[in-house]
Structure 1
Amino acid sequence: MQRKLNKDVDQAPPYNKVSEVLKKSIRKIESRYESPKNITGAPSGYVDLDLMTGGFQPGDLVVIAGRPSMGKTSLALNIANSVAIEAEGVGPVGIITLESTEEQVTEKLLCALAGVNINRLRSGRLTEVDWPKLTKAAGRLHDSPIFVKSAPNLALDNLINLVRGMKNDQDVRLVIVDYLQLMPSVEESRTQGISNISRSLKGLALELGISVLLLSQVNRSLELRNDKRPKLMDLRDSGSVEEDADIVLFVYRDEVYEPSNDYTESRAEIIVAKQRKGDTGLVNLGFLPDSSLFVNLPKD
């Protein structure tokens, strides 16, 4: 009997009849229909962006790109707080940084969650008003399922093993990689190396059933244009990044080029330049530079 069972397992085809896949699809469709929420994936925390994307889905490679100082890392960490803390029952988040220490990442998470000026925190000039906010935020962050790893010069194979470990050990739902151009590659052509990284991360997202948020720089040549909003062609050393990504989000803040005297709140544009399964468009957010926090704008 056992020999027959083993034989049946060995002879199971490595593919599925469409009727079996259809059953799973119907169950998901029914679940979405019955859910009071419009978000089926991991929520970014930004209402208009989530309405446009439906949240980040398992298997998605999401590229967040922009020029330096636009807020790519801040946006990604805000999303980490949303998925792991603000949204109930979504799941753990992994953060892999190639440019910051784990302490620096944690401080940014903390200040965004508390709404506290990060420069005051780093210089030790906190006010009496700051401390209660920090204490409350620290408690929430302490209990959160966020896992962080600082790994400068992390090679692709080691990155893949690290993400697999986060999935196996912590069952992460979403992993942030900050950022693409800091990863070394063995290929002679940098473009080929970038292509191999993006293609591998897309395959890993599908294999593990997670969302991967990959941060990327864009070409500085866009600054020669009158309109400096990034386009898909501006992805730096892009290779196949544009093709591999399910969603491409560009972060743009006009004040980076034309500074304002108002340092309390600015405006940010999240340009949805590509979405494999949905519409493209523009999402307007507020940005609080003191705490590196992107916020929803009030509706008119």
Structure 2
Amino acid sequence: MKNNDSSAQILNIERGLIAAILFDEEIFSEVNDSLAIEDFLYPSHQKIYDVCCELKAQNTPINADFVRARLQEKKAIPDEDFAQILATSPIANIEAYIKEIKNASIKRNLAKLAMNIATLTNDTSLQSEDILDNIEKEVYALSSKGAQVDFKHSKQVVLEMLESIKELKERGNNILVGLDTGFMRLNRYTTGFNAGELIVIGARPSMGKTALFLNMIQHTINRNEGVAVFSLEMPATHLMQRMLSSLTSIPLHDLRVGRLDDVSLEKLTIAMDKMAKRPLYIDESSSLTIAQLRSKLRKLKTKEPNLKMAVIDYLQLMRGSGLRRGDGARQEEISEISRGLKTLARDLEIPIIALSQLNRVVETREDKRPMLSDLRESGAIEQDADVILFLYRDDVYARRADREKIAKAKREGKDDEVKKLEEAFLAREREHTIEPAEIIIAKNRNGETGTVDIQFNKPFIRFEDKEKPQELNYAPTDTRIESDNSDVIETIQI
């Protein structure tokens, strides 16, 4: 009896809400922000709401006449069902009715999930970790807006694309679609970091992968859009030191040893205050499985809906699920991780950036610029990634060659030569604080490949665009730290 009463109550609530939409189409936007078609219990109500969504997408008025005409055209529901909606008095408390319909929808789905859990736990072929991951994914889907995923008819896809094109046209920016990478020419190649993409940044050690991604995420958090960083290699405090050095133009070494004058300390205090308010979330676990990362990101996304990007530093330090032995085990594990990251990026509708080590074979070539075949431990990374970027700095190898010459002269006991080489090396280091660097776009699923020339500012561990004339129709993101007291701190441009 209680079930019947509940169903009758939902029937009246759904009728009242749809009647309100037909009476005042301005209400539809508020309803559409919270409810999907599947949230309605009764099929006739689902079909009416579907027609309302269709009319909205076509910029057609949503009222009784247009909805009735479209329903009759589709022969979707009996006329008497629509008449019952029109006979229902429109309600005023829209928010309460939306909440009741959503609550009932979630409860129905939870009941289905409970039945599914019972089925999964009786399946002896599944591991407990796989079952937990499946359940967590379903629960996250229920708690997320628009989580139901089904086949999309081509008409729906075309309408969604049309809305996207209209939005971009209104924005008036023919370059940036996703999140700003921080580099003008890289934005031109990639249109930014886009939702659902897996972006891999690969480089040999000491090239500056960590510094590069920190420069990139600064543009996102400065717009108060959230970024999650999984730092498996470096403590969170070290990452923050690098970001503050880049923001304030205080040399990183001075920050680490506390060598700061009053002006630098004032700069640092202001920058720290700004950074404390930025939506940056750092997980410094030194060991992480793909299942654990999925769980943490889903929870954070539920808690912080404004999360726009996630970064993993770095991919090879992660672990897959279960135990693997024998030849090819590590390759299989990396394949599982890369595929898991790509799937997660699509589920959460955010770009995920994964840093990656490269094979030592790079060092044996005369031209040490990385290639796709240099990605370490698995070709699956190349397959799963939407964008693959390689960071290259020729000065890293030049510096290494100079050190090898000094070491060789020392072994041979050539003291005078050692002195000359060391003096030349130190002079070059003092003078050469800005080094050329390259971002090699080795794969770009939705665009061209190529090379972007940038520069590396060594004292501040900062990658920068090379000075170029302002390009048309491009407004770079303002990533400055400013102070109300202009005498204390200058404008700092990344």
Q: TM-score, normalised by structure 2?
A: 0.57
1:148 and 2:288 are equivalent in the alignment: no
Name the residue aligned to 2:272. Answer: 138
* 1:13-92 pair list within 5 angstroms: 14-37=150-173, 38-85=175-222, 88=223, 91-92=225-226
Name the residue aligned to 1:234. Answer: 374
Partner of 2:286: helix, strand, or coil? Answer: coil
Shift of 1:133: 2.5
* Cα distance between partner residues in 2 of 1:177 and 1:160: 12
1:179 aligned to which of 314, 336, 340? 314
Letter in 2 for 1:170: E
Q: Deviations over 1:135-175 (max 9, x none)?
A: 23212211111111101111111011111122111221000
Q: Deviations over 1:188-233 (max 9, x none)?
A: 3101100100000000000110000000000011100000000000
Name the residue aligned to 1:198. Answer: 338
After the TM superposition, list the runs of 4 or more consecutive aligned residues in structure 1 that deviate by more than 4 angstroms: 1-5
Shift of 1:286: 1.0
* 1:88-103 pair list within 5 angstroms: 88=223, 91-103=225-237
Q: Contact 1:81–1:113 at 8 Å: present in 2 too?
A: no
Partner of 2:229: helix, strand, or coil? Answer: strand
Partner of 1:15: helix, strand, or coil? Answer: coil
- Higher helix fraction: Structure 1 or Structure 2? 2
Give 5+ residue unaligned stretches, structure 2.
Answer: 1-7, 15-39, 47-107, 109-147, 400-427, 470-494
Q: Contact 1:192–1:239 at 8 Å: present in 2 too?
A: no
Letter in 2 for 1:36: G
Shift of 1:13: 9.1
Q: Contact 2:373–2:379 at 8 Å: present in 1 too?
A: no
* Cα distance between partner residues in 2 of 1:215 and 1:123: 28
* Cα distance between partner residues in 2 of 1:193 and 1:130: 46
* Cα distance between partner residues in 2 of 1:131 and 1:264: 23
* Cα distance between partner residues in 2 of 1:81 and 1:244: 26
Letter in 2 for 1:277: N
Q: Contact 1:114–1:136 at 8 Å: present in 2 too?
A: no
Shift of 1:102: 1.4
Name the residue aligned to 1:223. Answer: 363
Bigger relative contact order (CA 8 A; separation at least 6): 1
Name the residue aligned to 2:298. Answer: 164
* Cα distance between partner residues in 1 of 2:168 and 2:383: 28
Letter in 1 for 2:247: L
Name the residue aligned to 1:121. Answer: 255
Q: Contact 2:183–2:465 at 8 Å: present in 1 too?
A: yes
Partner of 1:257: helix, strand, or coil? Answer: helix
Partner of 1:99: helix, strand, or coil? Answer: coil
161-170 or 52-61, larger mean C-alpha shift: 161-170
1:280 and 2:280 are equivalent in the alignment: no
Give 5+ residue unaligned stretches, structure 1.
Answer: none
Number of equivalent positions? 296
Shift of 1:131: 2.0
* Cα distance between partner residues in 2 of 1:200 and 1:160: 8
Identity %: 35
* Cα distance between partner residues in 1 of 2:362 and 2:209: 17
* Cα distance between partner residues in 2 of 1:46 and 1:66: 18
Q: Contact 1:67–1:218 at 8 Å: present in 2 too?
A: yes
- Higher strand fraction: Structure 1 or Structure 2? 1
1:106 and 2:240 are equivalent in the alignment: yes
Partner of 2:206: helix, strand, or coil? Answer: coil
* Cα distance between partner residues in 1 of 2:368 and 2:436: 15
